[in-house]
Amino acid sequence: MILESLLQYAHILAILTLVVFLTSEAALCRPEWMRPEIVERLAMVDRIYGIAALAVLATGVLRIYLGVKGEDWYWSNWLLHTKFALFVLVALLSIKPTIRFARWKRALRANGTLPPAEEVRAVRKLVMVQAHIIPFIPLAAAFLARGFGGRG
C-alpha cells in the first residue's frame, strides 16, 4: 500500500509539472512578447516539459506493473488504452513546437534573429491544442481508477 501511494504521488507530481510547463509555454509563446530572453526561456521550458512527460510515462508504467491492481487488470481496460492514445497524440503534437523552439534558439544565437510572428502563432496553436487534449487524460484516469471500462 505504501508503494502504491508513493507511485501515485510521483505520477501526480509529474502530471502537475507537465501541466505547469505546458502552461508556461502557452503563456510565453506569443508574437507580441517575443524577445531574445523569451526564445531562450521557451527552449528551457520545453526541455522541462519533455522531461516531465517522460516522468509521467515512467510513473504510469510503474503503476501498471508494480501497483496493487496488477498489469492484467490495467491492460484489459480500454480506458488505459484511451489514456495512452491521448498521451501519444499530445507527444506527437509536441514535436513541432520542440523543433521550432530549438531552431529559434539557434537562429537567435547565430545572428540575433527572432521568429516571425506567423510562425509563433502557428506554434502556439499546437501548444494550445495539447493543452486542450490533456484534461481528458485524467478524466479517463478517474473512471479507470473506479473500475469503469473493464471487462466482466
| HEC string for the chain | CHHHHHHHHHHHHHHHHHHHHHHHHHHHCCHHHCCHHHHHHHHHHHHHHHHHHHHHHHHHHHHHHHCCCCHHHHHCCHHHHHHHHHHHHHHHHHHHHHHHHHHHHHHHHHHCCCCCHHHHHHHHHHHHHHHHHCCHHHHHHHHHHCCCCCCC
Query: Percent of the chain, pLDDT > 90?
Result: 91
pTM (2 d.p.): 0.93
pLDDT tens profile 30-65: 999 999 999 999 999 999 999 999 999 999 999 999
pLDDT tens profile 81-111: 999 999 999 999 999 999 999 999 999 999 9
Lowest mean per-residue pLDDT among 63-67, 112-116, 124-128, 145-149: 145-149
